[in-house]
């Protein structure tokens, strides 16, 4: 048996005893160079791989080799840079500076505005998004017929853009002739402004009222923009009456959108509403595997689990951390151990932030687009009541303040009012998933570290 077929035999045995990811990353590209006086010389692709194999697979390799050639005494590993490195493909030194750069190339279609990187195939489905995915898939079957509009909402970095673009891409694949337009509500707003400025509202209207599928991302940004809302309302009605599909994403439920006309909200509520919540542990693991597959690099499972444990509420951050670890390990030439990964993560995950009352007041005000002074004031306007109660509730839950302290800080109110508010919100959260999600989002803004 020559060296090469001998090594293939060893590899096929190792393949059975290691995870697929580990095998691909560390072992597949190794090579048996020679056997000299009982010493097997094995070439590996990098220092990185050498350390890893020596630490983790040495015994296993030795055993397999000895099964075939009993007089092997030991193994020496050498580095052969000519061996291809299957991991960290096409990465340059500069990627370190910007982790986002390690995304596969951005491919945006000029006509539709869709990025082909967002597909159903690479969108991991779990309990946190399955309703939204099912509704989106139904829309791709028969656009404009069943769920119109489709309104997808959820917190930052949870996959809204990915999902609505995947829906657009799937429709494009299925119905070649359908005209699809994807854009953010900010872009829509800018175009309304331009159209008015250049007195060209006619061509603006034609542009959007002639499509078969209109996808608007982050609709919350039209809050407070009356002219844009009016234009959108007319576009919406026109498309809707022609059975054209409308897909909208938002960071919150329609009813919770501040400063958006009632008539628009009730349009949004007229179709299918589905939310995306934070992914569970298993889904986070599955997403990490999906991202590693796309980038063709694999980290040991213990690091994958570490990431999924540490970063729970934002998939964009989870992805960012994955890229950071891979790049840092590679360029600092560290073996991929849990310890090293922890060291790298420390830099981006500070301990839970310390928050105070002012932070709660400002975060809640900002979330509901209100002036903090108004919230503290005695004004009894309806739109102020809920945010005020949420502030009381969070001050109790997150800061452990006494009712009287909260009452005093919130414009010298009666402490029984605070007591009532805290109880009311606690109860309401149990029954009302929209409120629960709003409060979760406020909390994640309060504690945002990444
Ligand atoms: P949002 O629009 O809700 O802020 P994005 O759609 O931009 O979030 O998602 C952030 C990142 O997380 C994207 O790179 C996206 O591909 C990824 N992502 C989110 N959810 C999933 C999922 N279920 N499966 C795979 N990738 C996901
Ligand atoms: Mg988005």
**Whether pLDDT at 92 is above 60:** no
Confidence of residue 352 (pLDDT cuts 50, 70, 90): low
Residue nearest to atom 20 of ligand 1 (CA): 159
| Nearest-ligand number for the alpha carbon of 289 | 1
**Scanning the structure block, which residue is given the tokens 């969108």?**
123
Alpha carbon distance 340, 436 (integer Å): 37
How far CA 446 is from CA of 324, 395, 443, in Å, comes to 24, 12, 5
Could you give the count of Cα atoms lying within 13 Å of 344 in the half-sphere of its Cβ?
26
Residue 384 in contact with ligand 1 by CB distance below 6 A: no
Say how many Å lie between the CA of residue 161 and the centre of ligand 1: 7
Confidence of residue 353 (pLDDT cuts 50, 70, 90): low
Residue 286 in contact with ligand 1 by CB distance below 6 A: no
Residue 155 in contact with ligand 1 by CB distance below 6 A: no
Say how many Å lie between the CA of residue 122 and the centre of ligand 1: 10
Confidence of residue 102 (pLDDT cuts 50, 70, 90): very low
Give residues with Cβ within 8 angstroms of 361, minimum separation 6: 372, 375, 376, 391
Confidence of residue 407 (pLDDT cuts 50, 70, 90): very high
- Residues, CB-to-ion distance under 5 Å, ligand 2: 161
Annotate 245-284 with b (16+ C-beta within 10 A) or e (fewer).
Answer: bbbbbbbbbbebbeebeeebeebbeebbbbbbbbbeeebb
Residue 157 in contact with ligand 1 by CB distance below 6 A: yes
ω into residue 149 within 30 of 0, thus cis? yes
**Whether pLDDT at 88 is above 70:** no
**Whether pLDDT at 262 is above 60:** yes
Confidence of residue 158 (pLDDT cuts 50, 70, 90): very high
Average pLDDT of the chain is 89
Confidence of residue 48 (pLDDT cuts 50, 70, 90): low
Residue 288 in contact with ligand 1 by CB distance below 6 A: no
Give residues with Cβ within 8 angstroms of 199, minimum separation 6: none
pLDDT of residue 90: 34
| Nearest-ligand number for the alpha carbon of 157 | 1
| Nearest-ligand number for the alpha carbon of 136 | 1
| Nearest-ligand number for the alpha carbon of 314 | 1
What tens digit of pLDDT does each residue of 176-215 get? Answer: 999 999 999 999 999 999 999 999 999 999 999 999 999 9
The more confidently predicted of residues 90 and 286 is 286
326 burial (CB, 10 Å; 0-12 / 13-18 / 19+) is buried
Kindly state the average pLDDT of the residues 140-154. 95
What tens digit of pLDDT does each residue of 125-139 get? Answer: 999 999 999 999 999
pLDDT of residue 351: 61
Confidence of residue 100 (pLDDT cuts 50, 70, 90): very low
The percent of residues above 70 in pLDDT, for the chain, comes to: 92
Residue nearest to atom 25 of ligand 1 (CA): 123
Residue 124 in contact with ligand 1 by CB distance below 6 A: yes
Alpha carbon distance 131, 242 (integer Å): 26
Say how many Å lie between the CA of residue 174 and the centre of ligand 1: 23
Residue nearest to atom 14 of ligand 1 (CA): 316
Residue 441 in contact with ligand 1 by CB distance below 6 A: no
Say how many Å lie between the CA of residue 350 and the centre of ligand 2: 25
**Whether pLDDT at 297 is above 60:** yes
Alpha carbon distance 407, 420 (integer Å): 11
Confidence of residue 97 (pLDDT cuts 50, 70, 90): very low
3-state DSSP assignment of residue 61 = helix
Please choose from 137, 152, 158, 162 the residue to mutate so as to test ligand 1's pocket, defined by most ligand atoms within 8 A of CB: 162
343 burial (CB, 10 Å; 0-12 / 13-18 / 19+) is middle
Kindly state the average pLDDT of the residues 134-154. 95
Alpha carbon distance 448, 23 (integer Å): 37
Confidence of residue 374 (pLDDT cuts 50, 70, 90): very high
| Nearest-ligand number for the alpha carbon of 119 | 1
Say how many Å lie between the CA of residue 162 and the centre of ligand 1: 5
Kindly state the average pLDDT of the residues 357-383. 93
**Whether pLDDT at 443 is above 90:** no
């Amino acid at each position: 048996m020559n060296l090469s077929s001998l090594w293939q035999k060893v590899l096929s045995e190792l393949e059975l005893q290691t995870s697929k990811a580990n095998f691909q990353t560390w072992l597949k590209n190794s090579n048996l160079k020679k056997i000299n006086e009982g010493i097997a010389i094995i070439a590996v692709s990098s220092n990185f791989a050498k350390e890893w194999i020596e630490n983790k697979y040495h015994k296993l390799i030795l055993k397999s080799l000895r099964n075939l050639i009993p007089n092997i005494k030991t193994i020496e590993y050498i580095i052969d840079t000519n061996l291809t490195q299957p991991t960290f493909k096409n990465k340059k030194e500069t990627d370190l500076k910007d982790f986002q750069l390690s995304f596969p190339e951005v491919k945006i279609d000029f006509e539709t505005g869709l990025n082909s990187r967002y597909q159903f195939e690479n969108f991991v489905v779990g309990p946190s998004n399955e309703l939204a995915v099912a509704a989106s898939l139904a829309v791709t079957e028969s656009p404009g017929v069943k769920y119109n509009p489709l309104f997808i909402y959820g917190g930052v970095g949870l996959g809204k853009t990915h999902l609505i673009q995947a829906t657009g891409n799937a429709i494009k694949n299925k119905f070649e002739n359908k005209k699809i337009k994807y854009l953010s509500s900010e872009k829509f707003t800018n175009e309304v402004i331009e159209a008015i400025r250049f007195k060209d509202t006619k061509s603006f209207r034609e542009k959007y009222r002639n499509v078969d599928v209109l996808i608007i991302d982050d609709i919350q940004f039209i809050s407070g923009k009356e002219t844009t809302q009016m234009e959108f309302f007319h576009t919406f009605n026109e498309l809707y009456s022609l059975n054209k599909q409308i897909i909208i994403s938002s960071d919150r439920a329609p009813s919770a959108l501040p400063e958006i006309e009632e008539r628009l909200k009730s349009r949004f509520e007229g179709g299918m509403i589905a939310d995306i919540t934070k992914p569970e542990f298993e889904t986070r693991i599955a997403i990490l595997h999906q991202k590693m597959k796309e980038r063709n690099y694999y980290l040991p499972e213990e690091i994958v689990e570490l990431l999924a444990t540490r970063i729970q509420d934002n998939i964009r951050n989870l992805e960012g951390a994955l890229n950071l670890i891979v790049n840092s390990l590679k360029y600092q030439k560290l073996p991929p151990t849990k310890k090293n990964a922890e060291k790298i993560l420390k830099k981006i995950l500070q301990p839970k932030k310390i928050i105070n009352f002012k932070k709660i007041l400002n975060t809640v005000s900002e979330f509901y687009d209100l002036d903090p002074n108004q919230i503290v004031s005695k004004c009894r306007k309806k739109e102020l009541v809920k945010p005020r109660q949420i502030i009381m509730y969070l001050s109790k839950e997150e800061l452990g303040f006494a009712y009287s302290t909260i009452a005093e800080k919130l414009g010298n109110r009666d402490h029984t009012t605070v007591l009532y508010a805290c109880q009311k919100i606690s109860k309401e959260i149990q029954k009302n998933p929209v409120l629960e999600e709003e409060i979760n989002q406020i909390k994640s803004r309060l504690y945002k570290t990444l």
